Structure 1
C-alpha cells in the first residue's frame, strides 16, 4: 500500500469508529434507576432511595461490577443532621441498606470492593 493512501484510510477508519464510541458512553453519568450518580475512579455509583431502602448500583463505564464480598457505607448530611447507613451486597452489581435521604442532602459514599482500594464518592440528592 502506498503511503499517500494510508492517511485517508486511517481517517476513514477513525471516523467510522467514533459513533460507536459515543454511543457506548451515552448513558455515562446519567441515572438509569431514578437515583443520583456519583463517580470514584473508574467506578460509577447510582444511589437510589425508595420506601426506606437504599440501593447502590455499581458500574464501570456502563458495565456492571460484581459486588459479591463488597461492603459500603452511605453518610447522609442534611443541614446539621448526619446519618450513616451500612450497605451490603444484594446480588449482581447492587449494594443495599435501610435508610433514606431527602432532596438537597449531601451523600458521601464509601465502597470497598474485594481486592481494590476504598472508593469514595460524593453527590447532592435531588
Structure 2
C-alpha cells in the first residue's frame, strides 16, 4: 500500500472519530439530573424541580455549573386557567429557589436576569 493511500485512510478514520466527540461531550445535555424538567435558554440549561411547596432551579452550561450570584428569577406557572408566579433567588452557586408548587402538566416560563447581562428565558412543561 502506498504512503499516499495510508495517509488518506488515516485522515478519513480521524475525521470519523472527531465527528463523534461532541456527542459524547453532551451525553447528558437536556436530560434531567435532579428529577425535574429541563428548559433550554441560550447558553444555559435550567432544570426546574418541584419539591413540595418549594421550587428549585439548577443551572448549568454544557454540564458545568452556572454562577447564580447576583441573579434573580421569576417562574410563571400556568395550570389550566390558573396563573401563579414564583420569585426565584440564589441559594447556592448554581441554584435558585422560591416558594411555590408545580402542578403536573403545568406550562412553565422561566426568566433569569443578572446585572449587566442579557436575561435568559425558557419554557417547559411540568412532569
Q: So what's the TM-score if we normalise by structure 2?
A: 0.88
Equivalent position SS for 1:21: helix
Residue 73 (structure 1) aligns with: 74
Q: For 2:66 and 2:11, locate their aligned partners in 1 and report how far apart those are by CA, in whole Å.
A: 34
Match of residue 105 from structure 1: 106
In structure 2, the partner of 1:38 is 39
Cα shift readout 1:73-115 (whole Å, capped 9, x = no counterpart): 0010111111111101111211111111111100010011343
Task: Give, in angstroms, the shift of residue 25 of structure 1.
Answer: 1.0
- Aligned CA-pair RMSD: 1.8
**Structure 2 CA distance for aligned equivalents of residues 73 and 18 of structure 1:** 38
Partner-residue secondary structure (3-state), 2:109: strand
Q: Work out the number of aligned pairs and report it.
A: 125
* Residue in structure 2 matched with residue 121 of structure 1 by the alignment: 122
Q: Secondary structure at the match of 1:107?
A: strand
Match of 1:58 in 2: 59
Deviations 1:15-48 (CA, angstroms, capped at 9, x unpaired): 3334442221111111000001111112111000
Indicate the structure (1 or 2) with the bigger Cα radius of gyration.
2
TM-score calculated relative to the size of structure 1? 0.89
C-alpha displacement of 1:4 = 5.5
